[in-house]
Amino acid sequence: ILPEDCRIQGLTDSKKLSPKKREDLALLIREQAISYAIGRAEPSEIDHINILKASLLAMERAFQGLCVRPLGALIDGNRAPSLPVETRTLIGGDRLEPAISAASILAKVARDFEMVLADQLFPGYSFGVHKGYPTPEHQDALQRLG
């Protein structure tokens, strides 16, 4: 939740930012946000209910983790989770709406951090490089290492 007078420069789609820029912005977002929370879904949940439903579940968990209850929620995309407040979806919202951009950046930085930790726990898979995306390098590691 960003304050109305929040003027963080450079908020945009997290995928369009360098890792350094994302981390710098994440620090500013955490400093200036009224409240924020990261929701996640476990791989087993994704396998069981599919990626879309798991993404919506993660959004619900993030909402539940907020220490301040907002009056509404802006959601990137065209599907909204079930929340106890009014929701509005916005396709391309991470490019268009600062609050969605901020959420996208915080989520990406948190996920990338988890991938760096996974890289240390599971050497050889290069999680720190590809951040869990199915790159040819990752596919090769799966073939070699299982």
Q: Is there a contact between 79 and 56 (Cβ–Cβ < 8 Å)?
A: yes
- Alpha carbon distance 93, 75 (integer Å): 7
- At 16 the pLDDT is 96
User: Among 3.30.750.24, 3.90.180.10, 3.30.420.10, 3.40.50.1980, what is the CATH number of 14-111?
Assistant: 3.30.420.10
Q: Is there a contact between 55 and 39 (Cβ–Cβ < 8 Å)?
A: no
Whether the pTM exceeds 0.85: the reply is: yes
- At 138 the pLDDT is 86
Domain extent listing, the chain: 14-111
Q: Is the pLDDT of residue 21 over 90?
A: yes
Q: Is there a contact between 76 and 100 (Cβ–Cβ < 8 Å)?
A: yes
- At 70 the pLDDT is 97
Q: Is the pLDDT of residue 132 over 90?
A: no
Q: Is there a contact between 8 and 102 (Cβ–Cβ < 8 Å)?
A: yes
Q: Is there a contact between 124 and 118 (Cβ–Cβ < 8 Å)?
A: no
Residue 16 DSSP label: G
Q: Is the pLDDT of residue 133 over 90?
A: no
DSSP-derived 3-state class of residue 87? strand
Confidence of residue 86 (pLDDT cuts 50, 70, 90): very high
81's CB contacts (< 8 A; 6+ apart) are 56, 57, 59, 60, 63, 75, 87
Residue with tokens 């050497």: 123
